[in-house]
Amino acid sequence: MNSLARSRGRLAAAYLLAAAALLGTAFLWRNPLWLLPALWSALSLAAVGVAYALNNPMIFRKNSSGEIPPWISWLLVPFFLGVYAYNYLQHRRDGAPNIQRVDDGIHVSGRLTQDDVPELRSLGIGAVLDVTAEFNALDRSLVDQPIHYLNIPVLDHSVPTASQLNRAVNWIDRRIRSGQQVVVHCALGRGRSVLVIVAYLLASGRCDTRRDAEALVRRTRTLARLNPAQAAFIEQLHASGELCITRNACVIANPVAGGGKWERHRERVEEQLSQFYRLQIKTTTPETGASILAEEALAEGADLIIAGGGDGTLAEVASVLVGSETLFGILPLGTANALSHALFGNLSKLVPMETALAALTHGRPVSIDTADCNGETMLLVAALGFEEQMISHADREEKNGLGQGAYLQGFWRALVDNATLELEVRFDDEDSQRISTSSMVIANASPATSILAQGGGLPDYRDGELDITWLKPGEGARQNLGSMLELMGSVDGDSVIHRRASAVAVRVIEGQRRHVVDGEPRESGEVKVRVVPASLTVLVPAGSATTASD
């Protein structure tokens, strides 16, 4: 990307030097007739120069409909006059048609104007992908037929982000698969538009290499050519596998999770995800659980399966995807939503749905560990003692009424009850040992708020190990609160014990024989947990950490 930065730097320098020269002439040649045009032109070119220096096409303020605000258009009139003149001369010298077919369903073009309307009609163009930042879009009402429009604003000679390019590629794919003819245009139809078309040809499998794809475009668009930075960008994305078409997505939603959050968010979820995926929605019923629906979606060829519900629903869907190449997505619709907090970070507590949708539309895939707990998939924790009592005390009615307050109420009851467990525990292949405790948590991952799992700090969901934390038995609620403070690092003490292992087996000798797995109560006097490293690929927000310790 150094060549790209150098290219932008040269353009930025050229615009800024031209602006400086105009300012110099304005003050050296004190002609009133020249002063205003010179200052106006200098300001216009300086603004564009800054845009290139910062690689920020938003200087043009082009909106999703392709419109640039009038005040920006007036401010940049001197720049636009120069650009229009240059493009006009290039078109005159080129002599080629503005719109040209590249391959089945896809065309390349320079900037679209009213002169292109007859050709758009005759070709049956149903979708326009605009990769300019500096031009207003064509008034599509002139075409007299419905036209889908997407703008990916990119500065001339530059490149979009990887997520923008993938969005463009998937948008083209959906439009072509729906039977529409697509035209991709930039200013002259030689650089930015060619970059997107080459990306589509590679991602769709129509071409195997960047050179082959570029050659296919140049068969009809003879002057089309990627600059070295654009070519390197495409080759890097293609080689790393980041350039891909995710065609089919299925949402599996639990309609009763979180007191019925799904119905409140459904319209918004459908509207946003349908812009990126061919979307299918399945909802669980008392007779048909999330794992059955996930198996159906997998058999139907879904590339991305999105679980919408609490942590139990997420674990059910994930159990079907463990070890597969299908991507796993998350819609946090439960009460605690611990998995999304663990993977997406603290922002997901403040704006959970916004964060989740950003991960699904502009995120990146990350491989995480899962665990097998008594034959079922575990994503977060298995717990005995305090956490089990906290969750068991919070029934569906309390969770619907109090939200996470139901868990706090249950946790306080557990501290006061202060029930002690006698356990036989074996770590990996070691000899068994007897442990007396009021709380034991076996964690693959956990959010920062799950302090009972953090005797060794926040568990790392990519380290191939389990984090096991237990507390020495306390004499009452006060001592148990002291253990909580020790876990949070507020006080020093020796009541918290932690170790790591790839497998752990626990047998209850005395005490409550229930435990919880990812927030779901289970009846068993034995808990056997084994980590399954890097077994699930999850979409996470583009800027999130890749491990819990990052």
Residues 205-213, mean pLDDT to the nearest whole number: 94
pLDDT tens-digit readout, 338-386 = 999 999 988 888 999 999 999 998 888 889 999 999 999 999 999 998 8
The pTM is what? Answer: 0.60
What residue type is 411 in one-letter code?
Answer: F
pLDDT tens-digit readout, 513-532 = 889 898 888 988 899 999 99
Does residue 231 carry a pLDDT above 50? yes
Give the β-pairing of 496-501 and 381-385.
Answer: unpaired
CATH class of domain segment(s) 248-362: alpha beta
Check for a shared fold between 98-240 and 381-532: no
Q: How many CB atoms lie within 10 A of CB 299?
A: 8
Residue 118's SS3 state is helix
Structure tokens given for 209: 């290499």
Predicted pLDDT of residue 402? 45
251: confidence class by pLDDT, cuts 50, 70, 90: very high
Residues 304-309, mean pLDDT to the nearest whole number: 96
Residue found under tokens 């296919």: 216
Does residue 547 carry a pLDDT above 80? no
Predicted pLDDT of residue 215? 96
166 or 389: which carries more pLDDT confidence? 166
184 or 144: which carries more pLDDT confidence? 184
Q: DSSP alpha helices (H): ranges in 95-209?
A: 117-123, 162-177, 192-203
158 or 401: which carries more pLDDT confidence? 158
Domain boundaries, the chain: 3-80, 98-240, 248-362, 381-532
Predicted pLDDT of residue 4? 64
The per-residue pLDDT of the chain, averaged, comes to 86
Does residue 93 carry a pLDDT above 90? no
* CATH architecture type of domain 98-240: Alpha-Beta Complex (3.90)
CA–CA distance, 151 with 128 (Å, rounded to integer) = 8
CA–CA distance, 140 with 331 (Å, rounded to integer) = 35
Nearest CA-CA partner of 110 in 12, 185, 207, 21: 185
What residue type is 448 in one-letter code?
Answer: A
Residues 83-88, mean pLDDT to the nearest whole number: 84
Residue 59 gets which letter from DSSP?
G
Residues 146-168, mean pLDDT to the nearest whole number: 89
550: confidence class by pLDDT, cuts 50, 70, 90: very low
CA–CA distance, 66 with 150 (Å, rounded to integer) = 8
Residues 191-208, mean pLDDT to the nearest whole number: 95
CA–CA distance, 457 with 150 (Å, rounded to integer) = 45
Domain 381-532 in CATH 3.30.470.10? The answer is no
Give the β-pairing of 364-373 and 466-471.
Answer: unpaired
- For 34, list phi and psi in degrees, rounded to 5: -95, -25
120: confidence class by pLDDT, cuts 50, 70, 90: very high
Does residue 549 carry a pLDDT above 50? no
Residues 14-30, mean pLDDT to the nearest whole number: 83
Q: DSSP secondary structure string, 243-284?
A: -----EEEEEE-TTGGGTHHHHHHHHHHHHHTTTSEEEEEE-
Structure tokens given for 56: 């920020």
